[in-house]
């Protein structure tokens, strides 16, 4: 069987994770209980997740010529990610993300994008053949908006299905971005910020998702944390519940969902099945510490989940 092919255009950061009794207030200094470094960045996380499940994944990103960048490249190679378009610059440090995680698994994250901001439109164009060879292109908002738009335009020109994850959250997006998104995949916070509408109930979430559809998105898949995920299209609304688990660390759960969703869709699964399985993958990830380290490998999953 030929593995699904995906391309991810986005950021690669080094996560600097501090575990704390609670998240600090403004101006407060807290003693943490332990510290961990891990590989992150939404684009990198989603690429690694899809690769861990068995996808052939090409990553397009830019790193600094520093120890963080060198180790990030090695990490991609360890997980089998195609690094032909993992580029380097001496004009900025690699991206970093200091993260605080409390005892309930809630987190607070600061992103310093660094070299990720220097990815160019010409470098996206140089990756056109890899984008065209993919079933799915995945993008987010951690690199400059115009670069994300360029990648989505290339995918549309090449007939490749696009998944856009509007994270980190921002209040406004250009109309073209919605129109280039075959699947628009926000979480609750991002949906509320983009629409100004609550998503506390399924009815509220559905109404907010319809606003995103009206702006031009092909389909909306809204992630609802422990409530699962919600598909809203012009024809249907489908709520896919999540498996109830005790969360140890929710860092990267959204990326686990998006990477898994992209993989299963690229593998030819229906949207409903892909959502069910992505929910399960995300639930597994929150039961372990870290980001990419919490993502399960295909060989550790039940055969039924990958069949």
pLDDT, position 290: 78
Q: Mean pLDDT across the chain, nearest whole number?
A: 95
pLDDT, position 289: 80
Domain of 165, CATH number, reads 3.40.1190.20
Q: What's the pLDDT tens digit per position in 227-267?
A: 999 999 999 999 999 988 988 888 789 999 999 999 999 99
Does 294 fall in a domain?
yes
For 147-153, the CB contacts below 8 A with 24+ separation are: 147/9, 147/119, 147/120, 147/121, 148/9, 148/10, 148/177, 149/174, 149/176, 149/177, 149/180, 150/121, 150/124, 150/125, 151/9, 151/60, 151/124, 151/127, 152/177, 152/180, 152/181, 153/180
Q: What's the pLDDT tens digit per position in 51-73?
A: 999 999 999 999 999 999 999 99
Q: Catalytic residue among 82, 130, 182, 255, which?
A: 255
Does 22 fall in a domain?
no
For 191-194, the CB contacts below 8 A with 24+ separation are: 191/222, 193/169, 194/166, 194/169
Does 111 fall in a domain?
no
How many domains in the chain?
1
Does 49 fall in a domain?
yes
The residue segments making up the domain with residue 56 are: 5-12+41-93+116-306
Does 148 fall in a domain?
yes
Does 143 fall in a domain?
yes
Cα angle 212-162-286, degrees, rounded to a multiple of 5: 80
pLDDT, position 97: 84
pLDDT greater than 90 at residue 123: yes
Does 45 fall in a domain?
yes
Does 161 fall in a domain?
yes
pLDDT greater than 80 at residue 1: no
- The encoded tokens of residue 91 equal 């004009």
Q: What's the pLDDT tens digit per position in 144-170?
A: 999 999 999 999 999 999 999 999 889
Mark whether 255 is an active-site residue.
yes
Q: What percent of the chain has pLDDT over 70?
A: 100
Q: What percent of the chain has pLDDT over 90?
A: 83
The Cβ of residue 236 has, within 10 Å, a number of other Cβ atoms equal to: 10
pLDDT greater than 90 at residue 36: no
């Amino acid at each position: 069987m030929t593995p699904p092919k995906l391309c991810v255009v986005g950021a690669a950061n080094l996560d600097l994770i501090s575990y704390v009794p609670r998240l600090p207030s403004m101006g407060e200094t807290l003693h943490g209980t332990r510290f961990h470094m891990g590989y992150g960045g939404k684009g990198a996380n989603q690429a690694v997740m899809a690769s861990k499940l068995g996808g052939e994944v090409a990553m397009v990103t830019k790193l600094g010529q520093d120890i963080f960048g060198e180790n990030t490249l090695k990490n991609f190679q360890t997980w089998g990610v195609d690094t032909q378009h993992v580029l380097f610059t001496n004009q900025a440090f690699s991206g970093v993300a200091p993260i605080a995680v409390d005892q309930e698994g809630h987190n607070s994250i600061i992103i310093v994008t660094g070299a990720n901001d220097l990815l160019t439109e010409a470098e996206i164009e140089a990756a056109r053949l890899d984008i065209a060879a993919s079933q799915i292109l995945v993008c987010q908002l951690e690199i400059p908006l115009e670069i994300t738009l360029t990648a989505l335009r290339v995918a549309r020109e090449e007939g490749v299905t696009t998944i856009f994850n509007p994270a980190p959250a921002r209040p406004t997006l250009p109309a073209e971005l919605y129109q280039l998104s075959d699947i628009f995949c926000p979480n609750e916070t991002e949906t509320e910020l983009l629409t100004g509408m609550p998503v506390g109930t399924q009815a509220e979430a559905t109404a907010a998702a319809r606003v995103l559809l009206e702006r031009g998105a092909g389909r909306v898949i809204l992630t609802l944390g422990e409530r699962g995920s919600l598909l809203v299209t012009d024809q249907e609304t489908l709520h896919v519940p999540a498996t109830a688990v005790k969360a140890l660390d929710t860092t990267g759960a959204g990326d686990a969902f998006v990477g898994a969703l992209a993989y299963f869709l690229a593998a030819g699964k229906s949207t409903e099945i892909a959502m069910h399985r992505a929910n399960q993958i995300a639930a597994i990830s929150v039961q372990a510490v870290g980001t990419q380290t919490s993502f399960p490998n295909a060989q550790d999953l039940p055969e039924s989940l990958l069949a």
